[in-house]
Structure 1
Protein backbone atom coordinates (compact mmCIF):
# COMPACT_ATOMS: atom_id res chain seq x y z
CA UNK A 1 0.00 0.00 0.00
CA UNK A 2 0.95 3.59 -0.52
CA UNK A 3 0.69 6.45 1.86
CA UNK A 4 -1.83 8.40 -0.26
CA UNK A 5 -4.91 9.50 1.60
CA UNK A 6 -8.30 8.87 0.14
CA UNK A 7 -11.28 11.12 0.65
CA UNK A 8 -14.45 9.13 0.75
CA UNK A 9 -16.97 10.10 -1.93
CA UNK A 10 -20.29 10.90 -0.33
CA UNK A 11 -23.59 10.78 -2.11
CA UNK A 12 -25.76 13.89 -1.94
CA UNK A 13 -28.07 13.91 1.02
CA UNK A 14 -31.68 12.92 0.60
CA UNK A 15 -32.73 16.50 1.33
CA UNK A 16 -30.44 17.83 -1.43
CA UNK A 17 -31.78 15.31 -3.95
CA UNK A 18 -35.41 16.14 -3.11
CA UNK A 19 -34.72 19.87 -3.35
CA UNK A 20 -33.18 19.41 -6.81
CA UNK A 21 -36.16 17.39 -8.03
CA UNK A 22 -38.56 19.97 -6.61
CA UNK A 23 -36.69 22.84 -8.27
CA UNK A 24 -36.75 21.03 -11.62
CA UNK A 25 -40.51 20.44 -11.30
CA UNK A 26 -41.10 24.08 -10.42
CA UNK A 27 -39.07 25.20 -13.43
CA UNK A 28 -41.19 22.99 -15.71
CA UNK A 29 -44.43 24.32 -14.19
CA UNK A 30 -43.35 27.94 -14.54
CA UNK A 31 -42.28 27.36 -18.12
CA UNK A 32 -45.69 25.88 -18.92
CA UNK A 33 -47.47 28.82 -17.28
CA UNK A 34 -45.38 31.37 -19.11
CA UNK A 35 -46.10 29.64 -22.42
CA UNK A 36 -49.83 30.04 -21.78
CA UNK A 37 -49.34 33.69 -20.94
CA UNK A 38 -47.38 34.26 -24.15
CA UNK A 39 -50.07 32.71 -26.31
CA UNK A 40 -52.81 34.74 -24.66
CA UNK A 41 -50.90 37.96 -25.20
CA UNK A 42 -50.74 37.23 -28.92
CA UNK A 43 -54.53 37.41 -29.10
CA UNK A 44 -54.86 40.39 -26.78
CA UNK A 45 -55.52 42.69 -29.73
CA UNK A 46 -58.94 41.09 -30.09
CA UNK A 47 -59.85 41.73 -26.47
CA UNK A 48 -61.76 44.76 -25.19
CA UNK A 49 -59.16 46.62 -23.16
CA UNK A 50 -61.10 49.85 -22.87
CA UNK A 51 -62.97 48.64 -19.81
CA UNK A 52 -66.20 49.85 -21.37
CA UNK A 53 -67.61 46.34 -21.60
CA UNK A 54 -68.95 47.03 -25.09
CA UNK A 55 -66.91 44.40 -26.87
CA UNK A 56 -69.20 42.20 -28.84
CA UNK A 57 -72.22 44.43 -28.49
CA UNK A 58 -75.06 43.96 -30.91
CA UNK A 59 -74.24 46.98 -33.03
CA UNK A 60 -74.00 45.81 -36.61
CA UNK A 61 -70.34 46.07 -37.52
CA UNK A 62 -70.48 44.10 -40.75
CA UNK A 63 -68.48 41.02 -41.51
CA UNK A 64 -64.92 41.69 -40.37
CA UNK A 65 -63.70 38.59 -42.19
CA UNK A 66 -63.86 36.48 -39.04
CA UNK A 67 -65.31 33.06 -38.34
CA UNK A 68 -69.10 32.75 -38.26
CA UNK A 69 -70.05 31.29 -34.91
CA UNK A 70 -73.83 31.13 -34.94
CA UNK A 71 -77.11 32.66 -35.93
CA UNK A 72 -78.66 35.10 -33.51
CA UNK A 73 -81.55 32.68 -33.04
CA UNK A 74 -79.06 30.09 -31.64
CA UNK A 75 -78.31 32.26 -28.59
CA UNK A 76 -81.09 32.21 -25.96
CA UNK A 77 -82.12 35.48 -24.32
CA UNK A 78 -80.77 35.64 -20.76
CA UNK A 79 -78.35 32.81 -21.55
CA UNK A 80 -75.79 31.90 -24.13
CA UNK A 81 -73.86 29.24 -25.94
CA UNK A 82 -70.32 27.94 -25.47
CA UNK A 83 -68.16 27.42 -28.56
CA UNK A 84 -65.42 25.24 -27.05
CA UNK A 85 -63.48 24.79 -30.30
CA UNK A 86 -63.19 28.58 -30.65
CA UNK A 87 -62.58 29.23 -26.94
CA UNK A 88 -65.48 31.66 -26.71
CA UNK A 89 -68.87 32.05 -25.02
CA UNK A 90 -71.56 34.16 -26.71
CA UNK A 91 -74.40 35.48 -24.56
CA UNK A 92 -77.59 37.48 -25.09
CA UNK A 93 -78.17 39.21 -21.75
CA UNK A 94 -81.14 41.20 -23.10
CA UNK A 95 -83.08 40.88 -26.33
CA UNK A 96 -80.89 41.84 -29.28
CA UNK A 97 -77.71 42.47 -27.25
CA UNK A 98 -74.92 39.97 -27.84
CA UNK A 99 -71.70 39.70 -25.82
CA UNK A 100 -68.70 37.39 -26.13
CA UNK A 101 -66.17 36.26 -23.56
CA UNK A 102 -63.25 33.86 -23.32
CA UNK A 103 -64.40 30.37 -22.30
CA UNK A 104 -61.27 29.91 -20.16
CA UNK A 105 -61.93 30.36 -16.45
CA UNK A 106 -59.66 32.97 -14.88
CA UNK A 107 -59.23 30.89 -11.72
CA UNK A 108 -57.19 27.96 -13.02
CA UNK A 109 -57.80 27.91 -16.76
CA UNK A 110 -60.53 25.27 -16.95
CA UNK A 111 -63.02 25.54 -19.79
CA UNK A 112 -66.44 26.74 -18.69
CA UNK A 113 -69.09 24.12 -19.29
CA UNK A 114 -72.57 25.54 -18.92
CA UNK A 115 -74.74 28.63 -18.68
CA UNK A 116 -77.46 28.64 -16.07
CA UNK A 117 -79.47 31.30 -14.26
CA UNK A 118 -77.67 34.20 -15.93
CA UNK A 119 -74.25 32.77 -15.10
CA UNK A 120 -71.46 31.14 -17.08
CA UNK A 121 -70.33 28.21 -14.92
CA UNK A 122 -66.89 26.62 -14.54
CA UNK A 123 -67.10 22.94 -13.56
CA UNK A 124 -63.68 22.74 -11.89
CA UNK A 125 -64.21 24.82 -8.76
CA UNK A 126 -67.66 26.36 -9.22
CA UNK A 127 -66.77 29.88 -10.32
CA UNK A 128 -69.65 31.73 -11.96
CA UNK A 129 -69.48 34.70 -14.32
CA UNK A 130 -72.17 37.17 -15.43
CA UNK A 131 -73.65 36.69 -18.92
CA UNK A 132 -73.96 40.50 -19.08
CA UNK A 133 -70.35 41.57 -18.63
CA UNK A 134 -68.28 38.48 -17.70
CA UNK A 135 -67.72 39.71 -14.14
CA UNK A 136 -67.34 37.26 -11.26
CA UNK A 137 -70.67 36.37 -9.63
CA UNK A 138 -69.24 33.59 -7.44
CA UNK A 139 -65.62 32.63 -6.66
CA UNK A 140 -63.05 31.28 -6.25
CA UNK A 141 -62.21 33.24 -9.44
CA UNK A 142 -61.31 36.86 -8.66
CA UNK A 143 -61.15 38.21 -12.23
CA UNK A 144 -63.93 38.27 -14.79
CA UNK A 145 -63.84 36.56 -18.16
CA UNK A 146 -62.05 38.68 -20.77
CA UNK A 147 -64.30 40.09 -23.49
CA UNK A 148 -63.89 38.81 -27.04
CA UNK A 149 -64.73 40.75 -30.20
CA UNK A 150 -67.74 39.65 -32.21
CA UNK A 151 -69.82 41.36 -34.84
CA UNK A 152 -73.49 40.90 -35.55
CA UNK A 153 -74.68 41.43 -39.10
CA UNK A 154 -78.27 40.53 -39.84
CA UNK A 155 -78.79 37.19 -38.13
CA UNK A 156 -75.12 36.16 -38.25
CA UNK A 157 -72.71 36.35 -35.30
CA UNK A 158 -69.07 36.42 -36.36
CA UNK A 159 -65.91 36.09 -34.27
CA UNK A 160 -63.72 39.02 -35.25
Structure 2
Protein backbone atom coordinates (compact mmCIF):
# COMPACT_ATOMS: atom_id res chain seq x y z
CA UNK A 1 0.00 0.00 0.00
CA UNK A 2 1.41 3.39 -0.96
CA UNK A 3 1.06 6.77 0.79
CA UNK A 4 -1.33 9.08 -1.11
CA UNK A 5 0.02 12.26 0.59
CA UNK A 6 2.01 14.44 -1.84
CA UNK A 7 5.74 14.71 -1.14
CA UNK A 8 6.69 17.39 1.40
CA UNK A 9 3.17 17.71 2.82
CA UNK A 10 2.37 16.19 6.17
CA UNK A 11 -1.10 15.28 7.38
CA UNK A 12 -2.77 17.94 9.58
CA UNK A 13 -3.29 15.52 12.47
CA UNK A 14 0.46 15.01 12.90
CA UNK A 15 1.15 18.79 12.95
CA UNK A 16 -1.71 19.45 15.35
CA UNK A 17 -0.51 16.76 17.77
CA UNK A 18 3.02 18.15 17.80
CA UNK A 19 1.73 21.68 18.44
CA UNK A 20 -0.45 20.47 21.30
CA UNK A 21 2.45 18.64 22.89
CA UNK A 22 4.75 21.65 22.57
CA UNK A 23 2.08 24.00 23.93
CA UNK A 24 1.34 21.73 26.90
CA UNK A 25 4.98 21.27 27.94
CA UNK A 26 5.31 24.64 29.76
CA UNK A 27 2.02 24.03 31.58
CA UNK A 28 3.16 20.57 32.74
CA UNK A 29 6.52 22.00 33.84
CA UNK A 30 4.85 24.77 35.83
CA UNK A 31 2.53 22.27 37.54
CA UNK A 32 5.51 20.11 38.53
CA UNK A 33 7.38 23.15 39.87
CA UNK A 34 4.38 24.24 41.95
CA UNK A 35 3.99 20.75 43.41
CA UNK A 36 7.66 20.71 44.41
CA UNK A 37 7.30 24.08 46.14
CA UNK A 38 4.30 23.08 48.24
CA UNK A 39 4.48 23.66 51.98
CA UNK A 40 6.02 20.90 54.13
CA UNK A 41 3.77 18.72 56.22
CA UNK A 42 2.61 20.24 59.48
CA UNK A 43 3.87 18.68 62.70
CA UNK A 44 1.38 16.36 64.33
CA UNK A 45 -0.91 17.54 67.10
CA UNK A 46 0.70 17.41 70.53
CA UNK A 47 -1.27 15.71 73.30
CA UNK A 48 -1.51 17.72 76.49
CA UNK A 49 -1.23 16.72 80.13
CA UNK A 50 -5.03 16.42 80.41
CA UNK A 51 -5.35 13.68 77.77
CA UNK A 52 -4.88 9.92 78.08
CA UNK A 53 -1.11 10.30 77.77
CA UNK A 54 0.82 9.29 80.88
CA UNK A 55 3.51 11.53 82.39
CA UNK A 56 7.05 10.11 82.51
CA UNK A 57 9.88 11.82 84.35
CA UNK A 58 12.74 11.35 81.89
CA UNK A 59 15.53 13.63 83.11
CA UNK A 60 16.55 16.25 85.60
CA UNK A 61 16.33 19.84 84.40
CA UNK A 62 20.07 20.13 85.10
CA UNK A 63 20.69 17.38 82.47
CA UNK A 64 19.05 19.53 79.78
CA UNK A 65 20.42 23.10 79.87
CA UNK A 66 18.75 25.77 77.71
CA UNK A 67 19.60 25.24 74.02
CA UNK A 68 20.67 21.61 74.48
CA UNK A 69 19.40 18.26 73.20
CA UNK A 70 19.09 14.92 74.95
CA UNK A 71 18.08 11.37 74.02
CA UNK A 72 15.91 9.44 76.52
CA UNK A 73 14.06 6.12 76.65
CA UNK A 74 10.45 5.56 77.73
CA UNK A 75 9.02 2.03 77.79
CA UNK A 76 11.69 0.77 75.37
CA UNK A 77 11.21 3.60 72.86
CA UNK A 78 13.66 6.41 72.22
CA UNK A 79 12.71 10.08 72.35
CA UNK A 80 14.61 13.28 71.61
CA UNK A 81 14.36 16.35 73.83
CA UNK A 82 15.21 19.96 73.07
CA UNK A 83 15.06 22.83 75.52
CA UNK A 84 14.59 26.11 73.59
CA UNK A 85 14.15 28.30 76.69
CA UNK A 86 14.31 28.21 80.48
CA UNK A 87 10.62 27.28 80.75
CA UNK A 88 9.99 25.09 77.67
CA UNK A 89 11.01 21.62 76.53
CA UNK A 90 10.07 19.82 73.30
CA UNK A 91 9.88 16.04 72.86
CA UNK A 92 9.92 13.95 69.66
CA UNK A 93 9.91 10.24 68.91
CA UNK A 94 13.41 9.34 67.66
CA UNK A 95 12.05 7.54 64.61
CA UNK A 96 12.96 8.83 61.14
CA UNK A 97 9.92 9.53 58.99
CA UNK A 98 11.78 8.30 55.90
CA UNK A 99 12.31 4.60 56.70
CA UNK A 100 12.03 4.29 60.46
CA UNK A 101 15.69 4.39 61.46
CA UNK A 102 16.61 5.74 64.88
CA UNK A 103 17.30 9.47 64.87
CA UNK A 104 20.12 10.67 67.11
CA UNK A 105 21.12 13.85 68.92
CA UNK A 106 24.48 14.03 67.10
CA UNK A 107 27.06 16.82 67.12
CA UNK A 108 25.26 19.13 64.68
CA UNK A 109 22.49 21.53 65.62
CA UNK A 110 19.86 19.30 63.99
CA UNK A 111 18.75 15.82 65.04
CA UNK A 112 20.35 13.35 62.62
CA UNK A 113 19.37 10.05 61.03
CA UNK A 114 22.50 8.02 60.29
CA UNK A 115 20.80 5.73 57.74
CA UNK A 116 20.22 8.21 54.90
CA UNK A 117 21.42 11.53 56.38
CA UNK A 118 18.03 13.08 57.03
CA UNK A 119 18.11 15.95 59.51
CA UNK A 120 15.33 17.37 61.67
CA UNK A 121 14.98 20.77 63.32
CA UNK A 122 14.97 20.60 67.14
CA UNK A 123 12.69 23.68 67.22
CA UNK A 124 9.73 22.03 65.47
CA UNK A 125 10.78 18.53 64.34
CA UNK A 126 10.57 19.50 60.65
CA UNK A 127 12.65 17.57 58.12
CA UNK A 128 15.34 19.99 56.93
CA UNK A 129 17.68 17.71 54.94
CA UNK A 130 17.84 14.28 53.38
CA UNK A 131 15.12 12.11 51.94
CA UNK A 132 12.69 12.51 54.88
CA UNK A 133 9.82 14.90 54.13
CA UNK A 134 7.60 14.59 57.20
CA UNK A 135 8.35 16.03 60.66
CA UNK A 136 9.20 13.89 63.66
CA UNK A 137 6.23 12.84 65.80
CA UNK A 138 5.93 15.31 68.68
CA UNK A 139 4.78 14.71 72.25
CA UNK A 140 3.77 17.03 75.05
CA UNK A 141 6.56 17.78 77.51
CA UNK A 142 7.09 20.17 80.39
CA UNK A 143 9.43 21.23 83.12
CA UNK A 144 7.96 20.38 86.51
CA UNK A 145 10.19 21.69 89.28
CA UNK A 146 13.54 19.93 88.82
CA UNK A 147 12.13 17.29 86.44
CA UNK A 148 11.62 17.04 82.68
CA UNK A 149 8.32 15.27 82.04
CA UNK A 150 7.16 13.75 78.73
CA UNK A 151 3.55 12.68 78.16
CA UNK A 152 3.30 9.44 76.17
* 1:22-101 equivalence runs, <5 A: 48-49=44-45, 55=46, 66-84=55-73, 85-101=76-92
Among candidates 123, 145, 148, match of residue 136 of structure 2: 145
Larger radius of gyration: 2
Q: After TM superposition, give the deviation of residue 148 of structure 1 in Å.
A: 1.0
Unaligned runs of 5+ in 1: 1-46, 50-54
Among candidates 86, 106, 114, match of residue 115 of structure 1: 106
Q: Give the TM-score taking structure 2 as reference length.
A: 0.59
Q: Against the structure 1 CA distance between its residues 143 and 48, is the aligned structure 2 distance closer, same or farther, given a 3 Å change threshold?
A: closer
Q: Against the structure 1 CA distance between its residues 155 and 95, is the aligned structure 2 distance closer, same or farther, given a 3 Å change threshold?
A: same
Deviations 1:34-62 (A, max 9, x none): xxxxxxxxxxxxx952xxxxx489xxx69
Q: Against the structure 1 CA distance between its residues 48 and 71, is the aligned structure 2 distance closer, same or farther, given a 3 Å change threshold?
A: farther
**Contact 2:94–2:103 (Cα < 8 Å) also in 1:** yes
**Contact 1:111–1:122 (Cα < 8 Å) also in 2:** yes
Q: Give the TM-score taking structure 1 as reference length.
A: 0.56
Task: Tell me whether 1:157 sits opposite 2:148 in the alignment.
Answer: yes
Instruction: State how far apart, in whole Å, the 2-side matches of 1:121 and 1:101 are.
Output: 13
1:12 maps to none
Instruction: State how far apart, in whole Å, the 2-side matches of 1:101 and 1:147 are.
Output: 4
2:119 maps to 128
Q: Against the structure 1 CA distance between its residues 48 and 137, is the aligned structure 2 distance closer, same or farther, given a 3 Å change threshold?
A: closer
Unaligned runs of 5+ in 2: 1-42
**Contact 2:125–2:136 (Cα < 8 Å) also in 1:** yes
Task: Tell me whether 1:106 sits opposite 2:109 in the alignment.
Answer: no
Instruction: State how far apart, in whole Å, the 1-side matches of 2:85 and 2:115 are.
Output: 28
**Contact 2:88–2:142 (Cα < 8 Å) also in 1:** no
| Aligned positions, number | 105
* 1:13-24 equivalence runs, <5 A: none
